[in-house]
Chains A and B, each alone.
Chain A
Amino acid sequence: MIIFDKVTKKFGEIVALDEVSFEIEKGEFVCLTGHSGAGKTTLIRLILGEYLPTTGEISIDGEKLTRVPRRKIYLWRRRLGVVFQDYKLFDNQTVAENVALPLQIRKEKPQEIKEKVEKILALVGLQERANLFPAQLAGGELQRVALARAVITAPDLLLADEPTGNLDPQTSEEMIKLFKAINEKGTTILMATHNREIVDELKTRVIELEKGELVRDEKEGQYHGEKKKKKIDDKVND
């Protein structure tokens, strides 16, 4: 479904991603791990089309990102859902309005929007909070609003960048249950995290980055696992 083919991203002299290649199949739940600065956020931003690869290619269902003109990038993004660590909600809009936003952008009919919002808020357990503003919610609730907004359009791929980064362990666990429930409904998920407990509990595919290089890709991985030999080691050995 999504293919990274030798993707390199450089910012001047700094190499944020170095020839990263992997494939994610439809319906997979993938944890993207690595220390801060490993390149997780860069990778997610590349998928979102915020950046273009310096070299290499990213494709979703055969459509190549570098072939998408800038003015059409919004069509690429409409196939994705995204959850951020800092939620990125609109403070002046209610929970229901925030969740409805992607559908309004797609110009869906008001009645359909209303029905979908009610359904998705019920899924994340926030139907009672529909008319509250973000400032009136707790951290876990805010992240559930962000998740509801991300999945309301039934995206091909759900991207989550450290979705539990600002949450306590118990709330994080509840969030992960929601992610699992959404994945079980068929949504492909790529979740960047450095939360060891979550990765170990999920027992799902793990892709690990280190200094921009892909050092591990395990089918049912744990937070810590055996890393591939890095290119630099190979060069030294040569």
Chain B
Amino acid sequence: MIKTLKQHIFRSPYQSLAAILVVSLSLFLIDTFILLGFGSEKILQYFESRPQVSAFLKDEAKPQDIELIKAKILTDRNVKSVEFISKEEALKIYQEQNKDKPLLLEMVTAKILPASLEVSTYNLGSLKNVAEMLKKEPLVEDVIYQEDVVLSMSNWMQTMREIGLGVIAFLLAVSVLTVLIVIGMKMARRKEEIEILKLLGASAGNINLPFYLEGIVYGAVAAVLSWGVNYLAILAIAPRINRFFAGISLLPIPLFFMLEVLAGLLGLGILVGFWGSFLAVSRFSKTVR
């Protein structure tokens, strides 16, 4: 069986390679969509876990005033937490964020940084209300909130999911058709051999199994190939991604997650390969008794 399978694959290596590459391309893009989804989810989680409203306080705000504002904000059921950041703490955060820029550090002191209240909410819809409430406070200088960032990310992810699903369905159909065409061509070229085998008493299993296995091998090889290329690409661009998304723990992607992705791609690849070969065999079987 293995010998026959090898013959099937290597007797027309370019056809086999074409099938593997087309399925690989599809699985590579599917893998990319999965990883982009994973990354976007992480970024969204990061933004959601950060304080979503920052209210900068005027210098004249006294501790008891600040406590009053905190208490007032906390009466809103949508508010998860309110944290006071003093001028000194703000300086520390600034220094941490700019530790490799000594020139900037020299110019900034605690005096020029405002103290602030960092507010987190349970849902993004209530950000605007909290921000409006804070803006009305006379001791609040300015209010910024991340509603736009988080909402647009969320919308972007939803759009990406919808487009991704469409593209994936299209690519899977192309892959199945490619395997069908390649295996169908191989069967047509071996028609006489198949006829002889049938006359010698070969069962449908004897004849068809190597073709099913061929499709499965195409799918499995394509899955490993696309996963490997993607993994190597991630490793290659990891430093740049880490610099760009400083503070968000995107990379390295957990190995277990990558292995789960590999298992998923293998399953999908095998399914695509089997389905393509199954269609080719069914189509061919109608022509030979």
Q: Which residues of A contact B (CB under 8 A)?
A: 48-51, 70-71, 73-75, 77-78, 80, 82, 88, 90, 92, 101-102, 105-106, 149, 153
A88 B196 Cβ-Cβ under 8 A = yes
A50 near B204 (CB under 8 angstroms)? Answer: no
Closest beta carbon of chain A to B161's beta carbon, Å: 44
Given contacts A49-B289, A50-B289, A105-B206, contact A90 B196 (CB under 8 A): yes
Residue of A49, A70, A73, A101 touching B200 (CB-CB under 8 A): A101
In the bound complex, do residue A77 and residue B199 qualify as a contact, i.e. CB atoms below 8 Å apart? yes
Which residue of B193, B202, B206, B289 contacts A90 across the interface (Cβ within 8 Å)? B193
Q: Mark B253-289, 1 if CB is under 8 A from A, else 0.
A: 0000000000000000000000000000000000001
Q: Which of B192, B196, B198 contacts A74 (CB 8 A)?
A: B198
Residue in chain B with minimal CB distance to A150: B200
Report yes or no: B203 in contact with A74, Cβ–Cβ below 8 A: yes
Please report the C-alpha to C-alpha distance between residue A77 and residue B203 in the assembled complex, in whole angstroms. 10
Roughly how many angstroms separate A48 CA and B206 CA in the complex, as a whole number? 18
A–B Cβ pairs within 8 angstroms, 17 of them? A48-B199, A49-B289, A50-B199, A50-B289, A74-B201, A74-B203, A74-B204, A77-B198, A77-B199, A77-B201, A78-B201, A80-B201, A82-B199, A88-B199, A105-B201, A105-B203, A106-B201
Q: For residue A91, which residue of chain B has the nearest CB?
A: B193
Contact status A73-B289, CB under 8 Å? yes
Q: Which of B168-213 contact A (CB under 8 A)?
A: 192-193, 196-204, 206
Q: A77 touching B289 by the CB < 8 A rule?
A: no
B contact set with A: CB distance below 8 Å: 7, 192-193, 196-204, 206, 289
Q: In the docked arrangement, what's the CA distance between A71 and B207, Å?
A: 12
B289 and A102 form a contact (CB under 8 A): no
By Cβ-Cβ distance, the 7 closest A-B pairs, closest first, are A78-B201, A74-B203, A77-B201, A105-B202, A88-B196, A102-B200, A74-B201
- Give the complex CA separation of A95 and B7 in angstroms: 18
Contact of A71 among B192, B197, B204 (CB under 8 A): B204
| Residues of chain B contacted by A88 (CB below 8 angstroms) | 192, 196, 199
B201: chain A residues within 8 A (beta carbon): 74-75, 77-78, 80, 102, 105-106, 153
Cβ of B109 to closest chain A Cβ, rounded Å:
85
Query: How many Å lie between the Cα of A106 and that of B203 in the bound state?
Result: 9
The answer for the CA separation of A106 and B197 in the assembled complex, in Å, is 11
Closest to A155 in B: B201
Q: CA A75 – CA B198 in complex, angstroms?
A: 10
| B202 contacts A74, C-beta separation under 8 Å | yes
Question: Hey, which chain B residues are within 8 Å of A70, CB to CB?
Answer: 289
In the bound complex, how far is the Cα of B203 from the Cα of A6, in angstroms?
Answer: 29
Bound state CA distance, A50 and B198, in angstroms? Answer: 9
Q: Which residue of B lies closest to A107 (CB)?
A: B206
Nearest residue, chain A, Cβ from B203: A74
CB distance from B6 to the nearest CB of A (A): 12
Question: With the chains together, A49 CA to B200 CA distance in Å?
Answer: 12
A126 to B29, CA, bound (A): 56
Q: Can you add 5 more A-B contacts, CB < 8 Å, to A101-B200, A105-B197?
A: A74-B198, A77-B200, A78-B201, A90-B193, A153-B201
Chain A residues positioned under 8 Å from B203 (CB to CB): 74, 105
For A74, the closest partner residue in chain B by CB is B203
* A77 to B201 Cα, complex, angstroms: 5
Q: How far is the CA of A107 from the CA of B206 in the complex (A)?
A: 10
Q: Which chain A positions have C-beta within 8 A of B200?
A: 77, 82, 101-102, 105, 149
Cα–Cα distance between A46 and B197 once the two chains are bound (Å): 17
A residues less than 8 Å from B198 (CB atoms): 74, 77
